[in-house]
Amino acid sequence: MAATAAVSMRGITKRFPGVVANDRVDFEATAGEVHALLGENGAGKTTLSHVLTGLYHPDEGEIDLFGERVAFASPRDAIDAGVCMVHQQFRLVERFTVAENLVLGDRRGAGRRFRIDPRAVASQVHELGERYHLPVDANAHVWQLSVGEQQRVEILNALYQDARVLILDEPTAVLTPEEADTLFATLREIAGEGRTVIFISHKLHEVLAVSDRVTVLRAGKWIATVPTAGATPQSLAALMIGHDVESAHRTPHELDGGDVLEVQDLWADGDRGAAAVKGVSLTLKAGEVVAVAGVAGNGQRELADAIAGVRPSTRGSIRVAGRPLKRGDVRAAFDAGIRYVPQDRLGTGVSPSLSIAMNLELRSYRESSLGPFLRLRRMRTRADKAIKDFDIRAPGPEAPAANLSGGNLQKVVIAREFAGEMKVLIAASPTRGLDVSAVATVHSYLLEAAAKGTAVLLLSEDLDEILALNDRIVVMYEGHLSEVVDRESIEEIGLRMAGETPPASAPAAAGA
Amino acid sequence: MNNALLVVLVASGVAYGTPLLFAALGELLAERSGVLNLGVEGMMLVGAVMGFWTVQRVHANTGLTLALAVLVAALAGTTMAAIHAFLVITLRANQIVSGLALTIFAGAAGLSSYLGNDLNVADQPASHSFHALLPSGMQSLPVVGPILFAQNILVYVSWLCVIAVGLYLSRSRPGLNVRAVGESPAAADTMGINVTAYRYAHTLAGGAFAGVAGATITLAITPQWVNGITGGAGWIAIALVIFAFWRPELCLVGAYFFGALQALAPQLQARNINLGPTVLWTNSLPYVMTVLVLVVVSSGTARRRLGAPSALGTAYVREEH
């Protein structure tokens, strides 16, 4: 190890109203290593990285960069000192070309002059791209690029500015497994040049695959820094969670129920008016869990919306227990027994400013109303019961839904949707952003629903979730579904997520 | 030949279009930084009255007086824009509401009218005004004479402004920065560009342009001050920016087109050509434009389709919470 650390953060404390996001955190990374920052959602990883990149100012603690004390007032100061971050939400100007985006952050070369010429940067971009295997067209506009390509631009941007410390916040969330592998190779190469790569993730297998050392945070506190070489998924999970969590797992079993949900040649448009679901056919039996894998933005949300009636389908039919469903009619879908846990739980799942009690009644207010009037006392009793049954941690039934944590919010949605006769449950990324114990709870509800004979359609970008909870896996790519033949094979799922058909199973896929 | 209807229309289109062009260039700068300013009409009126007041009160030679008047008008517009900038950038007020309020506040029944009465400048002939700059030999050349050479200096300055704004936005470092601020303030902020400063600077510059636009009317076109003299030109200018897809060179074409429309009715009348109620629709144009502007700026989809700066109309809040 080098004598002076590239990055040394000591005793970093960052408080937000009501929360201590970082509590005396120590972090050290050396030049030439890939250092993973591991922790659950809300463990303080992103906060720590924002402190390092000047976006947040720490309340306490000090930061040394290559042995020199630094106090960044803004992200720009950090960039000038060689600390660049690839955010989860890219910081690119979509209507600019790749070259223009690079000039924008440039303070040394072409961008320093008053007169700018993005074309002059293009050749440098090309060169950098060649060197790090990050091919990208410098003259393309960012909005024309895929999410994976945009990420490449972000990394190129950092390299163009000669970043000595490169921080990536959950970079694989938007990538297929193959793209992720390519990214890992690139990161190793960047570290090999003596730069420091800080890789933020909550996915154990990624951390094990790419890093040299791992620092684990939990609940805003530093827990441990260990070399990756000696670590196992179990040892890291134990550090990350602090206790063992029983994770749900589904063993496929005989399904004796009939077909509950039959989707035939379904088409639906995305928000921008282009077809997002293109001829999907899908049948679910009673008690069956079908997991839909895929990279975000391949039509999963639109498919879920269309089946739930939230989004009108443009073609095709949906049948529930043999009876056709009117397209784009939420109430008809609900009455037919379709229940929906939408992906955007705060925006679509609940009405944030309404109370928990009100939110719980959004589906069933007609039963509990008296003509045009709501029966508030009865609603309150029912809410109290739901809070108890579903273990919703809240100040009370009158608390606004917006004040709940993600896990408790999801429990409110589930409590509401589980009411009445539930024939089909559509769960779109139901555990995204939840901590491990909330994930386990949500999973147990899904399995419980299946056990009671509900057909469960689980759409998720989280491969671990897909692998753990399914009787069958299908992959959605550019609006089409393809059936996964070997439900244990990550390789096959990954290929299909990238739109390719695994050679060995081609005939079978054609028949599916 | 120089009296042919088309030549006269184009020539007056250039003259009448110049205030529209100044105002549109200013609005374009503000909008490219993400600030929508619906107060253009009000800022033009204040610029118009203050510019006119300067020529009536200052006793110096014509050139100096007029230059001073344009400067005062620009300052008056800038002051008005500063109110808008403070409200929408610092206090993050709704840009549509603030802009409308500014136009009402400064408009024909407000500040500009008060200033006109209080400074006692209404309905007087101007002591100094802008006249054609070039020798009369050039002005009487066929076709190009009246269109290009019989114009006052403000017209030529406006051409320089179009070129300057165009090059600034497409070829200069601050131009790239301001486009980034208007498209994605978060990205610009991360790259160390001061979003607030850029927005202030361009909103104020927009106000200066609007002030000059107002003075162009009272010092070159009419030349006198009458209450509410802009007659909705500010709204046409805002609409122009939209129709020009936020590009300065297209603003020029549009400004001259609308300028020519204004000249159409009187010219037809003078030639005893009766095309029915032409006056009705050229006179109602500002009102139609106002409605159109309000519809387009309130609809996110319409803005996106037309290629408006992505962050137009939205305040920027750094994500620090």
Q: What is the mean pLDDT of residues B204-232?
A: 93
User: Which strand ranges, in their side-by-side order, compose the sheet holding A424-428?
Assistant: A338-341, A424-428, A455-459, A289-293, A472-477, A480-483
The tokens describing B270, both together, are 């003078």
Domain stops at, among A183, A210, A241: A241
Can you tell me the mean pLDDT for A372-381? 86
Nearest alpha-carbon partner for B113 in B38, B40, B46: B46
Rounded percentage of chain A residues whose pLDDT exceeds 90: 49
In this prediction, residue A506 carries a pLDDT of: 46
Within 45-64 of A, beta carbons closer than 8 Å to B belong to 55-56
Least confident range of A193-202, A239-248, A278-287, A474-483: A239-248
Looking at the complex, report in whole angstroms how far the Cα of residue B83 sits from the nearest Cα belonging to chain A.
28
What pLDDT sits at residue A246? Answer: 58
A344 within a domain of the structure (yes/no): no
pLDDT for res A511? 37
Q: Judge if A403 and A442 occupy the same domain.
A: no
| A79–chain B Cβ distance below 8 A for any pair | yes
CB A162 within 8 A of CB A84: no
Give the residue numbers spanning the domain of A407.
Answer: 352-420
Q: Across the strands, what pairs with A280?
A: A266
Same domain, A416 and A427: no
- Partners of A87 on chain B (C-beta within 8 Å) are 190
- Residues B99-112: what's their mean pLDDT? 90
Residue A413 lies inside a defined structural domain of this protein: yes
Residue of A nearest to B167 (CA): A115
Check which CATH number belongs to the domain holding A55 and give it. 3.40.50.300
Phi, psi of A400 (to 5 degrees): -65, 140
Contact check, Cβ <8 Å, B321/A16: yes
Q: Give the model's pLDDT for residue A510.
A: 38
Q: Is residue A2 in some structural domain?
A: no
Q: What is the pLDDT of residues A7-28, one digit of tens each?
A: 999 999 998 776 788 999 999 9
| Same domain, residue pair A223 and A361 | no
| Better-predicted residue by pLDDT, A174 or A471 | A471
Name the pTM for this structure. 0.75
Top pLDDT among A183 and B274 is at A183
- Closest CA relative to residue B50, chosen from B297, B252, B263, B219: B219
Structure tokens at A295: 């990279």
Q: Provide the shortest C-alpha distance from residue B260 to chain A (in Å).
A: 34
Shared domain for A206 and A295, answered yes or no, is no
User: What are the chain B neighbours of A112 within 8 Å (beta carbons)?
Assistant: 173
Average pLDDT over residues A245-271: 81
Sorted by where each begins, the domain ranges of chain B are 5-306
Q: Which two three-digit tokens encode residue A512?
A: 């599916």
| The domain boundary residue, chosen from A366, A387, A420 | A420
Which residues of A fall within a CB distance of 8 Å from B189?
A: 74-75
- Contact between B230 and B214 under an 8 Å Cβ cutoff? The reply is yes
pLDDT, tens only, B136-185:
888 888 888 888 888 999 999 999 999 999 999 999 999 999 999 999 99
Pairing type for strands A165-169 and A83-86 reads parallel
Rounded to a whole number of angstroms, the distance from the CA of A1 to the nearest CA of chain B is: 32
Q: Which residue among B173, B184, B321 places its CB closest to the CB of A93? A: B184
A56 interaction partners in chain B (CB closer than 8 Å): 320
Residue with tokens 């409200």: B87
**Residue B287 CB contacts under 8 Å (≥ 6 apart), including other chains:** B232
The per-residue pLDDT for B163 is: 97
Nearest to B173 among A80, A94, A116 (CB): A116
Of chain A, the end-to-end C-alpha distance in Å amounts to 54
Interchain contact, A107 vs B319, CB within 8 Å: no
Q: List the Cα angle A136/A139/A142 in 5-degree steps.
A: 70
Give residue A288's identity as a one-letter amino acid code: E
Please, which pLDDT band fits residue B1 given cuts at 50, 70 and 90? low
Chain B, 179-198: which have a CB under 8 Å from a chain A CB? 179-180, 183-184, 186-193
Q: Name the token pair of B241.
A: 């920016």
In a shared domain, residues A234 and A325: no
Q: Mean pLDDT score of chain B, rounded to an integer?
A: 90
Taking 3-state DSSP, the helix, strand and coil percentages for chain A, each rounded to the nearest 5, stand at 35, 25, 35
Least confident of A201-215, A236-250, A448-462, B305-319: A236-250
Same domain, A432 and A414: no
A299 vs A282: CA distance, rounded Å: 14
The distance of Cα A355 from the centroid of its chain, to the nearest Å, equals 27
Q: What is the pLDDT averaged over residues A175-188?
A: 89
Predicted confidence (pLDDT) per residue in A408-442, tens digit: 899 999 999 998 889 999 999 998 877 777 888 89
- State whether residue B33 sits within 8 Å of chain A by CB: no
Task: Supply angle C-alpha B84, B27, B99, rounded to 5.
Answer: 30
Q: Among the three residues A196, A221, A241, which one is the final residue of a domain in this structure? A: A241
Task: Kindly indicate the confidence band of residue A163, based on its pLDDT and cuts at 50, 70 and 90.
Answer: very high
| A259-269/A313-320 β-pairing | antiparallel
Q: Which residues of chain B does A115 touch, with a Cβ-Cβ cutoff of 8 Å?
A: 171-173
Q: What is the rounded distance in angstroms from the CA atom of residue A266 to the CA atom of residue A289?
A: 20
pLDDT at A18: 66
DSSP secondary structure letter of residue B147: I
| CB < 8 Å to A58, chain B | none
Average pLDDT over chain A, rounded to an integer? 87
- Find the helix packing angle between B5-32 and B40-57, rounded to 10°: 110
**Which range has the worst mean pLDDT, A41-50, A101-110, B127-136?**
A101-110
The predicted-structure confidence for A62-93, as pLDDT tens digits, reads as follows: 999 999 999 998 888 999 999 999 988 888 99
3-state secondary structure A202-245: CCHHHHHHHCCEEEEEECCEEEEEEEHHHCCHHHHHHHHHCCCC
Q: Residue A340 — pLDDT band, cuts 50, 70, 90? A: very high
How much of chain B, in percent, has pLDDT values that exceed 70?
98
The count of structural domains within chain A is 3
With beta carbons less than 8 A apart as the criterion, state whether A424 and A337 touch: yes
Contact A57, A22 (CB under 8 A): no
Angle A46-A50-A52 (CA atoms, 0-180°, nearest 5)? 120
| pLDDT score for A280 | 95
Indicate the range of A90-94, A233-237, B209-213 predicted with least confidence: A233-237
Q: Which pairing describes strands A424-428 and A19-29: parallel, antiparallel, or unpaired?
A: unpaired
- The nearest CA of chain B is from the CA of A367 a distance in Å of 38
- Count of C-beta atoms within a 10 Å radius of residue A347: 10
Cβ separation of B189 and A116 shorter than 8 Å?
no
Q: Distance between CA atoms of B95 and B84, rounded to whole angstroms?
A: 8
Second CATH level (architecture) for the domain B5-306: Orthogonal Bundle (1.10)
Q: What is the pLDDT of residue A123?
A: 86
> Hunting for tokens 């929906």 — which residue is that?
A340
* Per-residue confidence band for A58, with pLDDT thresholds at 50, 70 and 90: very high
Please check whether residues A92 and A232 belong to one and the same domain.
Answer: yes
d(CA B146, CA B137): 11
User: Which of chain B's residues have a Cβ under 8 Å away from the Cβ of A104?
Assistant: 176-177, 180, 187-188, 191, 193
Alpha-carbon distance A104 to nearest alpha carbon in chain B (angstroms): 7
More confident residue, B88 or B107: B88
For residues A91 and B211, the model is more confident at B211
d(CA A114, nearest CA chain B) in Å: 5
Which of A448-452, B34-38, B128-132, B271-275 comes out lowest in average pLDDT? B271-275
| Residue A91 contacts B where some CB pair is shorter than 8 Å | yes
Within a domain: residue A311?
yes
What pLDDT, on a 0 to 100 scale, did the predictor assign at position B39? 95
- Cβ(A291)–Cβ(A306) below 8 Å: no
Rg (CA), chain A: 25
Min Cα distance B188 → chain A (Å) is: 8
Is residue A28 located within the same domain as residue A176?
yes
b/e A233-270 (16+ beta carbons within 10 angstroms → b) = eeebbebbbeeeeeebebeeeebeeeebbbbeebbbbb
- Give contacts of B172 with chain A, Cβ < 8 Å: 114-116
pLDDT score, position A457: 96
Q: What is the mean pLDDT of residues A203-215?
A: 91
How does DSSP classify residue A164?
S
Tell whether A100 is within 8 A of chain B (Cβ).
Answer: yes
In this structure, the answer to whether residues A98 and A213 fall within a common structural domain is: yes
| Assigned domain for A345 exists | no
pLDDT at A364 over 50: yes
For residue A508, pLDDT over 80 is answered with no
Looking at residue A316, what is its pLDDT? 93
pLDDT of residue B320: 54
Question: CB contact, 8 Å: A116 with chain B?
Answer: yes
A363 and A293 assigned to the same domain: no
Evaluated on CA atoms B95, B99, B105, B106, the torsion sign reads positive
Looking at A325-375, list the stretches that DSSP marks H as alpha helix, in order from N- to C-terminal side: 330-335, 356-360
Chain A interface includes B321 (CB < 8 A): yes
| Dihedral Cα A228, A229, A232, A237, nearest 10 deg | -10
Residue of A487 and A243 predicted with greater confidence = A487
pLDDT at B306: 82
Question: pLDDT band for position A51 (50/70/90)?
Answer: very high
Distance in angstroms (rounded) separating the CA atoms of residues A476 and A498: 10
Closest chain A CA to residue B176:
A104
Both A367 and A309 in one domain: the answer is no
Among A79, A95, A112, select the one facing B183 at the smallest CB separation: A95
Q: What is the pLDDT of residue A1?
A: 45
Position A507 scores a pLDDT of 46
A219 has pLDDT over 90: no
Interchain pair A76, B192: CB under 8 A: yes
Q: Considering only the beta carbons, identify the residue of B172, B192, B310 that sits closest to A95.
A: B310
**Same domain assignment for residues A413 and A433:** no
